[in-house]
Structure 1
C-alpha cells in the first residue's frame, strides 16, 4: 500500500475545494475569480539573517453576496544568509549554516467566509470565517513547518459615506508544532480605510499586527498601502507596498498583479 506524505495528504484534501471552484456551475448569484499577485519581501525579520523572499500565489475565489470560498496555492523562493524556516509571515532561524536558496510549493490555504449581515449605505457588513493551512510545503527545506494550522476569524466592513469604508479583521491561528518546537497560537489583527477614487479605482491603507509564534518575541507589525484599478469589467490591476514597523517584520515589500472574473 502506498503511503502519502503529509504534504501530499494536505494537497489531496484541499483539492476538494479547488475542484469545487473549477467545476462549479455558472449561476447568477455566484462569481468566480482568479488572482495572480506576486510579491517580494526583504529584511532580516528580527533575526539578523539577511532574507529575500518571493511569494507567488495563485488564488481561486468563488463568492456571492453571502459567502466567499478562497483557495491560495503559492510558490515560494527564499534566499537567506543562514538557514531559516518560513512560518506564515515570520522567519525563524533553523540552525547554523551558510547562504541558502530554497524554492518550491508553499503551504496551500483554504478560507471560507460567511456574511451574517449584509451591509448597506450605512449598515456594516459582518462576517465569520474559518481558515485552514495544509502542510504542502517542504519543511526539510524551510519552506513551511510541515504541520497543519487552522482557526476562526471575524471581519467587518463599515461604509462611511459613498466613497469610504472602514475595515477590520481578527483571526486566531492554532499552530501545529514541528518536532522539538512549541509554537504558540497567535492572534492576527488588521484594520484600515479604503477610498473609492472613481468607479474603477480604489486606494487603501491597512495596519496589520500578528503575534510571533515564539513566546516573548515582538509582534510582527506592518503598514500596507494598496491601489487597485479596473481596466475592464473582468480585469483588475492590484498593487501594494508593505512597510515593516517592527524589527520582526520585513523592511519593505512590493506586490503587483491581476485579478480576473
Structure 2
C-alpha cells in the first residue's frame, strides 16, 4: 500500500468540502493517524503507524499543502527501507528485523485548475509534488533522497451528488547509493457520493509501479466516509484500505479530523 496516498494526494482533505464553493480562500489544518499491516513483498509481517499532520491553503483554482508525518514501524527486515509510500530494498525472508520511530518524509504539493468543469467536460488540474528526504535512512524510515512528481487530475460532477475523479502522475525517484530504484507512474480513480449534506462516501482504486525492479507495485481499493460538522468542511474522516497486490499492505485503517477556516 502507498501508505500515505490518501492524505498525500489530498483526497481526504477535499472529500469534506466537495459541495462548498471556494471563491474565498480557505485554510485547513488536519491530522489523520493510520495503521497498515502486511508483508509488502517481504517475508516479514510489517506494522506501520503513519500519523500525518497537514496544513492546506485553497481557493477557487489553487491548492497548496504541507504534510508532516510521524512514522512508527515494526517487523521491518534488516536492510529494507520505507519510501514514498512503499518499501524498497526488500531482502526477502530474514531473521533480523528492525523497529523504529521518528519523523517521516515531508511532502509539499501544489494543484492548479487550468480548466473549470463545463457541461460534460471535467475540470483539468495539473499538480506537482516534492517529497523531502527527511526520514531517517539509517533506521529504515526513508531513503534519505528527495522525490519529485508531476501529474494531472480530472474532476467531474454528475448532478449534485456524484463527484468522479482520476489522477495520473510520474514520479522521479531519488536514488540512494546502490539503490537501483526506478522512476514510476502513479494513478488513482474513484468517486465521491454526497449521501446527505453532512455525509460523504468515497470509493477509490489506487496504485503505482514498483520502484524496485522484480517486485509487484502497490494496488489498493479504499472506502471512506466523511462527516461534516460545519458547512465549511470541518469534520471527521474514516477510511479502510484493502491491498490487492503483493506490494501492498494486507489492510489499512485510518481515522482523522480537520478544521477548515
CA shift, 1:94, in A, is 5.9
Q: How many matched pairs?
A: 235
The structure in which a higher percent of residues are helix is 1
Alignment of 1:1-261 (within 5 A): 29-80=24-75, 82-83=77-78, 84-93=80-89, 98-119=96-117, 122-233=120-231, 235-261=234-260
Is residue 196–residue 202 contact of structure 1 (8 Å, CA) maintained in 2? yes
Residue in 2 that maps onto 1:19: none
For structure 2, which runs of at least 5 residues remain unmatched after alignment? 1-21
Residues 113, 129 of structure 1: 8 Å contact kept: yes
Higher relative CO (Cα under 8 Å, sequence separation at least 6) belongs to 2
- Counterpart contact for 2:193–2:201, Cα < 8 Å: yes
Partner of 2:9: none
Q: Secondary structure at the match of 2:138?
A: helix
CA distance in 1 between partners of 2:40 and 2:133 (Å): 22
- Supply the distance in 2 between the matched residues of 1:245 and 1:163 (Cα, whole angstroms): 28
RMSD: 1.7
Runs ≥4 residues deviating over 4 A = 93-97, 120-123
**Cα deviation digits, residues 41-87 of structure 1 (max 9, x gap):** 00001111110000001011000011000111000000015232101
Deviation at 1:194, TM superposition (A): 1.1
Cα offsets for 1:3-26 (capped at 9, x unmatched) = xxxxxxxxxxxxxxxxxxxxxxxx
- SS for the counterpart of 2:77 is coil
What SS does the corresponding residue of 2:180 show, helix, strand or coil? coil
Mark the runs of 5 or more structure 1 residues left unpaired by the alignment.
1-26
- Is the CA contact 2:89–2:179 (under 8 Å) kept in the aligned structure 1? no
Conserved 8 A contact 2:23-2:60: no
Once the 2 structures are TM-superposed, how far is the Cα of residue 233 of structure 1 from its aligned partner? 3.4
